[in-house]
Amino acid sequence: MKVTALAGGTGSAKLLRGLKSLPIDLTVVANVGDNVWMYGAYVCPDVDVACYTLAGISDVERGWGVRGDTFYSLERLARLGLETWFKLGDMDLAVCLARTEMLRRGGSLTSATERIRRALGAPSPVLPATDHAVETRVETKKGDLHLQEFWVRDRGRPAVLRVRYRGAASSSPTEQVARAVSDADRVVVCPANPVTSVGPMLAVRGFASLLSSTRARVVALSPMSGRRPFSGPAGKLMKAAGRRPDSVGVAEMYAGFLDALLISKGDAGMKRDIERLGVECAVTDTLMSNPRDEARLARELLRA
Ligand code: GDP
């Protein structure tokens, strides 16, 4: 079975670990909206967390970076007077520097990612959603911020007015992404922030129509439990986007292409509202607190 997984950060990494444990032909399409220049290197957090997870070296519990990584470079950068609010371990920084060098020599983000994931030993391809620069900007009462400034530096505190995907209107999915979505037997939307992880992919011109026209069944695991996400700012950002911060809101945002949504048992009362949107809905235990949960949910998604 050919499975293409759309992935953001922390919640997606857990599900990717589950998908990786199954006998399937897996391809990951990763969000690029939170890519950022830091310390002279091009950092691609969601692309890297997918590569690290597939390679078995990610710190899945922490949600970012490499397990057991050291932070000597960051300590030195701080002593040299740089602001170091964006935590990047030594091994992580090396990956970002390698990518920067590959890009500087004219390579695409897709080809750089392919070289990196192979070098790390990740057994499945990881495809950036686009090779164009698409940047998630959060307009707040404190000003127009990069997503990382909003969430990591300012800890998600500023009041949000609007989220924009800078560069999306003139971007397109890569050929590899188009093929991965069109040729899949199943597309899985991993639990990810609908506004800042899935939103930037959907904003890439032509991406949403790839999803709505694929012959594959498109299924998703909701990142919400009740009126909150399991982690991160999804609720606050969904509200700012004028959506209900719950699984019905997620279904509304994905209704144009989604066949089925897995929601939490506590949200069984939302099933009818979701089905009214034309999305099938199944109720299950959606918390992933260990590899057993991750594999169980991966299997349930492939059957949904
Ligand atoms: P973030 O909002 O900046 O953290 O962006 P991500 O795309 O990394 O979002 C992770 C999403 O995964 C969040 O919306 C979480 O609610 C969700 N998530 C985290 N852990 C779990 C889990 O165990 N189960 C499910 N269903 N979702 C999860």
**pLDDT digit string, tens, across residues 44-82:** 999 999 999 999 999 988 889 999 999 999 999 999 999
Residue-wise pLDDT for 106-139, tens only, equals: 999 999 999 999 999 999 999 999 999 999 999 9
Share of the chain above pLDDT 70, in %: 100
If you measure from the C-alpha of residue 232 to the centroid of ligand 1, how many angstroms do you get, rounded to a whole number?
A: 7
Backbone φ, ψ for residue 139 (5° rounding): -80, 120
**Residue 11 CB less than 6 A away from ligand 1:** yes
Q: Quick one: pLDDT at residue 61?
A: 81
**Could you give the count of Cα atoms lying within 13 Å of 270 in the half-sphere of its Cβ?**
27
Q: Which two tokens stand for residue 288?
A: 């992933």
**For a pocket test of ligand 1, which of 28, 153, 193, 290 has the largest count of ligand atoms closer than 8 A to its C-beta?**
193
Do 78 and 87 form a contact (C-beta atoms < 8 A)? no
If you measure from the C-alpha of residue 123 to the centroid of ligand 1, how many angstroms do you get, rounded to a whole number?
A: 24
Nearest protein CA to atom 24 of ligand 1, as residue: 287
Q: Quick one: pLDDT at residue 242?
A: 95
Over 90: is that where the pLDDT of 248 sits? yes
Do 74 and 187 form a contact (C-beta atoms < 8 A)? no
What is the end-to-end Cα distance of the chain in Å, rounded?
A: 14
Would you call 125 helix, strand, or coil by DSSP? coil
If you measure from the C-alpha of residue 197 to the centroid of ligand 1, how many angstroms do you get, rounded to a whole number?
A: 10
- Residue 264 CA: nearest ligand 1 atom is 26
Rounded to the nearest 10°, the torsion over CA 121, 126, 130, 133 is: -40
Residue-wise pLDDT for 154-181, tens only, equals: 999 999 999 999 999 999 999 999 999 9
Place of tokens 């899985």: 188
Over 90: is that where the pLDDT of 1 sits? yes
Q: Is the pTM of this model over 0.75?
A: yes
Nearest protein CA to atom 21 of ligand 1, as residue: 11
Q: Quick one: pLDDT at residue 129?
A: 98
The angle subtended at Cα 277 by Cα 33 and Cα 185, nearest 5°, is 60
Name the pLDDT band for 215 (thresholds 50, 70, 90). Answer: very high
If you measure from the C-alpha of residue 190 to the centroid of ligand 1, how many angstroms do you get, rounded to a whole number?
A: 9
If you measure from the C-alpha of residue 78 to the centroid of ligand 1, how many angstroms do you get, rounded to a whole number?
A: 30
Q: Quick one: pLDDT at residue 115?
A: 98
Q: Quick one: pLDDT at residue 62?
A: 86
User: Once rounded to an integer, what is the mean pLDDT over residues 88-117?
Assistant: 98
Closest CA to 193 of 161, 235, 157, 251: 235
User: Could you give the CA distance from residue 175 to residue 119 in angstroms, rounded to a whole number?
Assistant: 23
Longest CA–CA span in the chain (Å) reads: 57
Q: Quick one: pLDDT at residue 60?
A: 82
